[in-house]
Amino acid sequence: MNSQIRNKILEILAPLGAGRDTEFSVPPQAALGDLSFPCFALAKAKAQNPATVAKQIAEQINKQGEPLIASAKAVGPYVNFFLNSHAVATLVSTFGENICDPAFEDSKEKIMVEFAHPNTHKAFHIGHLRNIITGESLVRLLEHVGHAVVRANYQGDVGLHIAKCFYGIFSTPNYETIIKSLTTATSAEQAKFLGQAYASGSSAYEENDDTKAKVMAINEKIYSGDTAITALYKLTRSWSLSYFENNIYKRLSTHFDRLYFESEVFERGREIVKNNMANGVFKASDGAVIFEGSKYGLHERVFLNSKDLPTYEAKDLALAEKQFNEFHPARIYHVVGKEQLEYFKVVFKALEFTFPESAGREHHVDYGWVHLKSGKMSSRTGQVILAEEMIAEVKAVVLENMSASDVANKDEVAERVAIAAIKYAFLRTSTENDIAFDIKSSVATSGDSGAYLLYMGARIKSILKKEPGPASAEQIPAEVMPEEATVLLHLDQFQDTVSAAAARQDPSLVAHYLYSLAQKFTSFYEACPVLKSAGATKNFRLNLLRQILAVAERSLYLLGIKTVEEM
RNA sequence: GCGCCCGUAGUUCAACGGAUAGAAUAUCAGGCUUCGAACCUGAAGAUAGGGGUUCGAUUCCCUUCGGGCGCACCA
């Protein structure tokens, strides 16, 4: 459902020349009006001065005496509308609980969203956290506007990073005893061990040519399935996977329909490349096999290395083939950091030759860095903040805020508030921008924060528990306060906001919408007593609270955030 | 070297080419016997520099400075 107010004003403006694509805006200051119609486009069509057109329209509307529009006033090239609060309430509050139902649009498609993709044997750090939070929200946005979504997760379980980890393990004194004792340990402890082994193996790899060669030798064993390491490989791989499942995905309210692994595509990847050498798609160069991206304004990339092993590029060719064949999605969104912008251009181009059906259906949803003052996130340097460490730190702050509280399930509430704070902190920044991260101050629990949003819900629920009121407002009271009309106007923009967020693959639009709703709710809350009012006014306000709550909870859901009853 | 991206209050984020550049936080001054003060009210505070295009530029183009990321056998 689209904006009721917008549709109504379009009806009024249509005879004056405004088309269906007319844009409205909200004036920068509330004192200027509730809604505004910029006359630039119309003036151009009429070949007149925008200010003149604005003046004419304002006069015409005032003369007509529209019930919805208390007055229209031309301010420069804008026609500013002061809406009749009562008419707004009548128009908007009638849609009741349906206000936030998923909007099924006509162009319903099946879309695969591939996200998370942590590699096994490596730490799960806050960079991964941004990926998973963005991906989960994107899935929910797409579902909301009517698409069928396949959740995919592509994980690296073969390759050099495993070799580095293994080198680290083999370099650990008494590693066999340690491994044995870890089999009964928690997922967190197992993951910690692997993360440390990876970090030390990784620095050994950079150390000198000798250690580098040793790591490379392990890598070849992994690809060839050498039985000497199979048992250890299987064991440690399962440690990583159960850690992701139990300690990360569940905690972040995410799940996947299909887990893809590099181990299931690398053979086929090599085959695809080899099959496309005779026809000139790929060519041998310095012992490796490359795709000449430079023919298409891109750059060259290696698909098979000189040891005949498929690189990530080749694996991606096989992955795409598998994904399209298994699910036949209209589009695939790969949620991957922006440092791979050029990489994907090359791979998508190569894919057009090896799997022509993919043309125009592969998309890279890129997002910016999460970086610390001391540098960017990298599990290679050890300069990392683990996802779990961050959650723990924020949770501690939340628990401190709750020290005087007597809510029953304190730990569960603190967990939800902490996750909400983190998710919101990440999602409020538009996806393409970097996030400058400081663990002490970046995840706020006051002001423009996830905690503030949950607090809004808790306040509303607290009132509704005291007095549920009638199921709907049968009657609009004679006097509707401006704060009430302002909230209603904002509620009315919910579906348009979600559509835009889904179309742009950017959850931050919903995050901003929600925060703005919270501010408008608070103004209403401060100005309009609910329980102390009476009659139609009271019923209307209780109903308004329910609508605000419904939209707020739907918005939070779209961001992947769970609500609380009290906090 | 070649290419791509970014530079907005002290700090973290906003702003389809459109109005007096919005918020939050930090600072300062106020507000709880009143539906939950994780809140509210007020003050002060910003478009890196220089050119251009336009009726109009934070937004588009050029340039200088500053930062990030790609560019052959990692993922």
ipTM of the complex as predicted: 0.95
Whole-number pLDDT of residue A381: 42
- Strand B footprint nucleotides (protein C-beta < 7 Å): 3-6, 11-16, 18-26, 35-36, 38-41, 55, 68-75
Residue nearest to nucleotide B17 (CA to C1'): A40
Q: A522-564: per-residue pLDDT in tens?
A: 999 999 999 999 989 999 999 999 999 999 999 999 999 999 9
Of the candidates A176, A180, A164, the one whose C-alpha atom is nearest the C-alpha of residue A120 is A164
Q: Is the CB of residue A157 inside 7 Å of nucleic acid strand B?
A: no
Domain ranges of chain A: 4-83, 387-558
Please report, rounded to whole angstroms, the spatial distance between the CA atom of protein residue A28 and the C1' atom of nucleotide B58.
Answer: 16
Chain A 347..376 CB hits on strand B (< 7 A): 369, 376
| Distances from the Cα of A144 to the Cα of A4, A103, A139, A311, A389, angstroms | 19, 6, 9, 37, 32
Whole-number pLDDT of residue A105: 62
Please report, rounded to whole angstroms, the spatial distance between the CA atom of protein residue A545 and the C1' atom of nucleotide B45.
Answer: 36
- The Cα A421–Cα A459 span in angstroms is 18
- The Cα A221–Cα A485 span in angstroms is 68
CA-atom Rg of chain A in angstroms:
28
Please report, rounded to whole angstroms, the spatial distance between the CA atom of protein residue A526 and the C1' atom of nucleotide B32.
Answer: 13
Question: How much is the average pLDDT of A247-265?
Answer: 96
For the four alpha carbons of A482, A485, A487 and A489, in that order, the dihedral sign comes to negative
Q: Is the CB of residue A563 inside 7 Å of nucleic acid strand B?
A: no
Whole-number pLDDT of residue A96: 53
Smallest CA–C1' separation from A515, nucleotide: B23
Above 70 in pLDDT, residue A97?
A: no
Q: Is the CB of residue A519 inside 7 Å of nucleic acid strand B?
A: yes
Please report, rounded to whole angstroms, the spatial distance between the CA atom of protein residue A295 and the C1' atom of nucleotide B17.
Answer: 35
Q: A417-458: per-residue pLDDT in tens?
A: 999 999 999 999 999 898 887 776 777 888 999 999 999 999
Of the candidates A335, A266, A305, A383, the one whose C-alpha atom is nearest the C-alpha of residue A118 is A335
Please report, rounded to whole angstroms, the spatial distance between the CA atom of protein residue A446 and the C1' atom of nucleotide B24.
Answer: 9
CB A366 within 8 A of CB A338: yes
Above 60 in pLDDT, residue A377?
A: no
- The Cα A475–Cα A271 span in angstroms is 70
Chain A 237..296 CB hits on strand B (< 7 A): 262, 285-288, 290
Flag whether the pTM goes above 0.90: yes
CATH code of the domain occupying A387-558? 1.10.730.10
Above 50 in pLDDT, residue A1?
A: no
Q: A313-340: per-residue pLDDT in tens?
A: 999 999 999 999 999 999 999 999 999 9
Smallest CA–C1' separation from A75, nucleotide: B19
Chain A 33..92 CB hits on strand B (< 7 A): 33, 36, 38, 40, 50, 75-78, 80
Above 80 in pLDDT, residue A22?
A: no
**What is the edge-to-edge ordering of all strands in the sheet holding A362-367?**
A258-261, A148-155, A110-114, A331-337, A362-367
Q: Is the CB of residue A311 inside 7 Å of nucleic acid strand B?
A: yes
Q: A166-189: per-residue pLDDT in tens?
A: 999 999 999 999 999 999 999 999
Q: Which fold has domain A4-83?
A: Gyrase A; domain 2 (3.30.1360)
Please report, rounded to whole angstroms, the spatial distance between the CA atom of protein residue A368 and the C1' atom of nucleotide B4.
Answer: 14
CA torsion A411-A416-A417-A422 (nearest 10°) is: 130
